[in-house]
Amino acid sequence: MTESVRFEDVSLLYPGGTVPAVSHLNLTIEKGEFLVLVGPSGCGKSTSLRMVAGLEPISDGKIFIGDRDVTNVAAKDRDIAMVFQNYALYPHMSVGENMAFALKIQKVPKEEIARRVQEAAKLLDLTEYVDRKPKALSGGQRQRVAMGRAIVREPHVFLMDEPLSNLDAKLRVQTRTQIAALQKRLGTTTIYVTHDQVEAMTMGDRVAVLKDGILQQVDTPRKLYDEPANAFVATFIGSPSMNIIHAKVVDGGAEFGGTVLPIEREVLAKADSDHVLVGVRPEDLNLAESGPEMKVTLVEELGADTFVYGTTPDGVNELVARSRGFTSPRVGDTVHVDPQRTYVFTATGTQARIK
């Protein structure tokens, strides 16, 4: 039966280290939920996942699976299944044996093993490959075997450590939706680690953003996008990432590049210095007849969209704007941009959002 997972103030400081790999992590993953851990490399997302698996020690705090405290339980007794980045298939076993291995160790009756393996193979479109060795499979097929190995276990929790990063771009998109659909169908609690924010946004029920071992925000993809907790989350989620403009606090707004952007007085009162960070998503920064000026340095035509890269006249801030027009500006032109929707963050500390 599937179970919830709970981190209670979990920290990990490697012996001899000074900076914790994971610091005071508090997080609950509900029964049947698909939670994505996302962040730049070295942020502690894989480490957190491996802590649930029991492959990584915990210096402080507790981890629960369901109501059971598994902090000091051996990996093999936690009843979790993991999909590794490079799949970690047993090269000396056939696809079927790979999937059956855990069940054999658990001494599940033979007929039951055969039934479950067959079911998983069918589900993953692997029926004709059951007798092949992993070496004779393509990358995508190996990935599915790794998934199958997890599915047949019918574990409390699935853990997935960047399972798509070894696939080519097209297959990745395809497999992404398959995994999400499969998870919905099986209803097994899943923790999924990725560095790819698109994967995080498209797959997760909720997404937890980590940076330097500290949980920044955990929310639904929509909320992460609309209401980022701080400047890091704001820039990490969304592509191209949000423009962050260093602006000076002046009476009635924030000033950059000779333009004053009006901001409510209450918001400015929360600023912790004489500067604030103004955030505008490229999709909210349109080319316009008037407004702040931008000198174009690069134009990216993506078909549906055109992104215009440039700098403010003072050269301090770099901006990306989306052009909806049929004619796009050229490199070297000076254009006006019109910020539709802005965020304001404090300029120091955690760079928390104040608007």
Distance in angstroms (rounded) separating the CA atoms of residues 290 and 298: 20
Told to check if 81 binds another protein by CB under 8 A, we report: yes
Neighbours of 326 (CB within 10 A): 6
Per the listing, tokens 């970690």 go with: 88
Strand 243-250, strand 5-12: pairing: unpaired
Q: Is 101 in the site for another protein (CB under 8 A)?
A: yes
Q: Which of 26, 106, 127, 174 is the binder for another protein (CB under 8 A)?
A: 106
| Nearest distance from C-beta of residue 102 to another protein, angstroms | 4
Indicate whether 73 belongs to the interface with another protein (CB under 8 A): no
Binding residue (CB under 8 A) for another protein from 22, 25, 37, 89: 89
Under the binding rule (CB under 8 A), the answer on residue 92 touching another protein is yes
- How many residues form the binding site for another protein (CB under 8 A)? 26
Q: What's the closest the beta carbon of residue 88 comes to another protein, in angstroms?
A: 4
Q: How far is the CB of 22 from another protein (least distance, A)?
A: 18
Tell me the per-residue interface mask from 22 to 61 with another protein, x by CB under 8 A, - otherwise. Answer: -------------------------------xxx------
- Give the x/- contact pattern for another protein in 145-174, rule: CB under 8 A: ----x---x---------------------
Residue 84 sits in the site that holds another protein (CB under 8 A): yes
Q: Tell me which residue of 337, 344, 348, 237 sits closest to 288, measured CA to CA.
A: 337
What's the min distance (Å) between Cβ of 4 and another protein?
A: 19
Q: Which amino acid is at 173?
A: V
Which C-beta is closer to another protein: that of 104 or that of 330?
A: 104
Length of the chain: 355
Quick one: CA dihedral 9, 12, 15, 18, positive or negative?
negative
Residue range at the interface with another protein (CB under 8 A); choices 23-31, 68-76, 204-212, 251-259: 68-76
Binding site for another protein (CB under 8 A): 53-55, 74-76, 78, 80-82, 84-86, 88-93, 101-102, 105-106, 135, 149, 153
